[in-house]
Chains A and B, each alone.
Chain A
């Protein structure tokens, strides 16, 4: 059974990706800060297909050990889905420096380090899939999300150069750019704002986490072997 590592898999998009990966026949190593009822339920349903590893990505110094331990316990991963992120919002002029540093650490430094070490297994396997979860905010912008948007654009840039570095080893690297989805992270987007996004979308609705997970499913599959260094946007057309 191929191993796929999904970060931030305890809720929202990460949990939907974990569920999709199980349905696609992978064994999921779900990494997250705190166990949730939903993940517990998924683990009870599929005890042989998913394991949980507790980790807080604000501890970047421990990421190398985490990668070594995961590989030792479960084997060399086939796929890595860098989904864990925080979504602090606030206008830049008043966003605290500590919050800015935390956003950069968790949303970009941590996935870069995790990729560096998980990539080693893929180099030895001469194949693998890396999916960086960005956001349409990286290209469209959003009032109050300048630092968050910067980290997400950084991930998309990371994808492009890394795809060039590791392509010869049969490893693909792609970006998923979801639009506004109804998750805990976007729960601050209430009422009129959400309605306006729905109205403006060509399809007249928001994309769901399941929609985004289908795209991850494709990017993880053997069928996507000719797709690398690109971004798949799943936003019901909002940013077109």
Chain B
């Protein structure tokens, strides 16, 4: 399995976990074009996702960036994590 697929799968799995813990309904077909804030997770859910990913991956791309970037879709979100993977 490619690095890209592994990262994407990891992120989707964590989104599903967070939604299940919080009792949120999320889209069943999460893909690259899914708009993050329409996926069923709210802004707090995404903050939790970033926290969970930092603990697991040991980096936070959003605090490593010189210029702020706010991803709109799941594909953009995954790409940022791939870019900053060491």
Contact = CB atoms under 8 A, between A and B. Distances in A.
A124 interface: yes
Interface string A155-177: 00000000001101100000000
Contact of A124 (B43, B48, B60, B63): B48
B13 to A, nearest CB: 15
Contacts of A123: 44, 47-48, 51
Nearest to B64: A64
B68 to A, nearest CB: 13
Interface residues of B, number: 12
A64 B51 contact: no
A126 B51 contact: no
B54 interface: yes
Contact of B48 (A64, A68, A169): A169
A200 interface: no
A99 to B, nearest CB: 28
Nearest to A168: B44
Interface in B46-61: 47-48, 50-52, 54-55, 60
Interface string A47-67: 000000000000000001000
Interface in B27-86: 43-44, 47-48, 50-52, 54-55, 60, 63
A124 to B, nearest CB: 5
Nearest to A117: B63
A107 interface: no
A64 B47 contact: no
B21 interface: yes
A120 B44 contact: no
A238 interface: no
B51 to A, nearest CB: 3
A26 B69 CA distance: 38
B51 A120 contact: yes
Contacts of B52: 124
Contacts of A120: 47, 50-51, 54-55
Given A68-B54, A121-B51, 18 more contacts: A64-B60, A117-B63, A120-B47, A120-B50, A120-B51, A120-B54, A120-B55, A123-B44, A123-B47, A123-B51, A124-B48, A124-B52, A124-B55, A126-B21, A165-B43, A168-B44, A169-B44, A169-B48
